[in-house]
């Protein structure tokens, strides 16, 4: 069994319906230890559990802290079956319609993580990915943060709604996605093109690297394009979760509007210049 904690994490897992719940535990003394808003949210969560047929029991707050290994559980802990992660092939399945997305010929936007190790960064990126309409996330099995209770809580439960695939070799996975006619776009401070000059309206994969070190060399060489975020201060780059948010929401903006930036004076925004490197 896996353990989830935090109101958002447990509530979103219930709403997503992808997990099988054993039971949910709530703090017995919640009305004395939480503000009125939090206590009300817990009561609504308990009602949702009853609606979904999930058993609920109460324990002392200290017991929940011991189970979760942290006091940040917000008075809620759940025991659930492990989340079923997908394979890369599963991401090729037809896309479900998304609110606000263009319905004709939907284009894929996939996020690939090249060894993000901090669970807080992982959770923040998953939260952004869900909000920005990412269609799938590719993570490596080794030398990367697992989808732990810390990461799930940091995602505010968004991880429960995402299609997440685990792969052994990211470079091989990117090559397979490239063969499916997806652009492989790396974000790197040594990139040669500003992120907001790139057209994200087609099928593409955004690749984010490790904290501090960035993309692995082989990953960088696999990318069709390397983008950068221009910086005007004394620091040369943003934290990976902040950088991911900047670029993913630019991609979301373009895809929602249905047009990318002008690639040249003749083509204009609606017909970008042919980009080199696809399938190479």
The answer to whether residues 122 and 198 belong to one domain is yes
The answer to whether residues 132 and 230 belong to one domain is yes
The answer to whether residues 43 and 105 belong to one domain is no
The answer to whether residues 38 and 58 belong to one domain is yes
Other CB atoms within 10 A of residue 81 CB: 12
Does the pLDDT value for residue 48 go beyond 50?
yes
pTM: 0.85
Please tell me the least confidently modeled range out of 8-22, 23-37, 162-176, 242-256.
23-37
38 or 210: whose pLDDT is higher?
Answer: 210
* Domain annotation covers residue 276: no
Please tell me the least confidently modeled range out of 207-221, 224-238, 239-253, 260-274.
260-274
The Cα–Cα gap between 225 and 186 comes to 6
The overall average pLDDT reported for the chain is 87
The Cα–Cα gap between 36 and 31 comes to 7
Would you state the pLDDT for residue 262?
59
What phi and psi values does residue 166 have, to the nearest 5 degrees?
A: -105, 135
The answer to whether residues 59 and 105 belong to one domain is no
The answer to whether residues 154 and 170 belong to one domain is yes
DSSP class of 52: H
Confidence of residue 92 (pLDDT cuts 50, 70, 90): confident
Does the pLDDT value for residue 233 go beyond 90?
no
Q: Could you tell me if 177 and 186 are in contact, meaning their C-beta atoms sit under 8 angstroms apart?
A: no
Would you state the pLDDT for residue 70?
94
Is 278 in a helix, a strand, or coil? coil
Does the pLDDT value for residue 235 go beyond 70?
yes
Name the residue range of residue 115's domain.
88-257
Token pair of 90 as six digits? 């599963």
Q: Could you tell me if 250 and 200 are in contact, meaning their C-beta atoms sit under 8 angstroms apart?
A: yes
The answer to whether residues 71 and 178 belong to one domain is no
The enclosing domain of 45 has a CATH number of 3.30.1330.30
The answer to whether residues 41 and 99 belong to one domain is no
The answer to whether residues 169 and 103 belong to one domain is yes
The answer to whether residues 74 and 94 belong to one domain is no
Quote the Cα angle for 232-262-267, to 5°.
155
* Domain annotation covers residue 265: no
The answer to whether residues 228 and 135 belong to one domain is yes
* Domain annotation covers residue 271: no
What percent of the chain stands above pLDDT 70? Answer: 86
- Domain count for the chain: 2
Q: Show Cβ contacts of residue 261 under 8 Å, excluding neighbours closer than 6 positions.
A: 196, 197, 198, 199, 254, 269, 272
Would you state the pLDDT for residue 269?
40
Average pLDDT over residues 18-43: 82
The answer to whether residues 234 and 118 belong to one domain is yes
């Amino acid at each position: 069994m896996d353990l989830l904690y935090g109101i958002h994490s447990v509530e979103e897992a219930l709403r997503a319906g992808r997990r099988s719940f054993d039971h949910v535990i709530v703090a017995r003394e919640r009305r004395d230890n939480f503000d009125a808003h939090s206590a009300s949210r817990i009561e609504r969560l308990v009602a949702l559990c009853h609606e979904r047929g999930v058993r609920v029991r109460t324990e002392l707050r200290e017991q929940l802290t011991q189970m979760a290994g942290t006091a940040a559980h917000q008075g809620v802990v759940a025991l659930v079956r492990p989340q079923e992660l997908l394979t890369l092939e599963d991401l090729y399945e037809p896309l479900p319609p998304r609110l606000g997305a263009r319905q004709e010929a939907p284009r894929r936007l996939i996020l690939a993580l090249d060894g993000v190790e901090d669970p807080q960064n992982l959770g923040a990126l998953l939260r952004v990915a869900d909000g920005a309409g990412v269609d799938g996330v590719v993570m490596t099995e080794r030398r990367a943060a697992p989808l732990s209770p810390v990461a799930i809580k940091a995602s505010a439960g968004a991880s429960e709604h995402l299609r997440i695939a685990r792969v052994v070799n990211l470079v091989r996975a990117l090559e397979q996605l490239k063969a499916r006619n997806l652009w492989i776009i790396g974000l790197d401070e040594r990139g040669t093109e500003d992120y907001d000059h790139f057209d994200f309206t087609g099928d593409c994969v955004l690749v984010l690297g490790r904290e501090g070190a960035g993309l692995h060399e082989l990953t960088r060489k696999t990318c069709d394009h390397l983008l950068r975020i221009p910086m005007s201060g004394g620091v040369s780059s943003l934290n990976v979760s902040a950088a991911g948010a900047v670029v993913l929401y630019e991609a979301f903006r373009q895809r929602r509007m249905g047009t990318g930036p002008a690639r040249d004076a003749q083509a204009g925004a609606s017909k970008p210049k042919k980009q080199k490197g696809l399938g190479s």
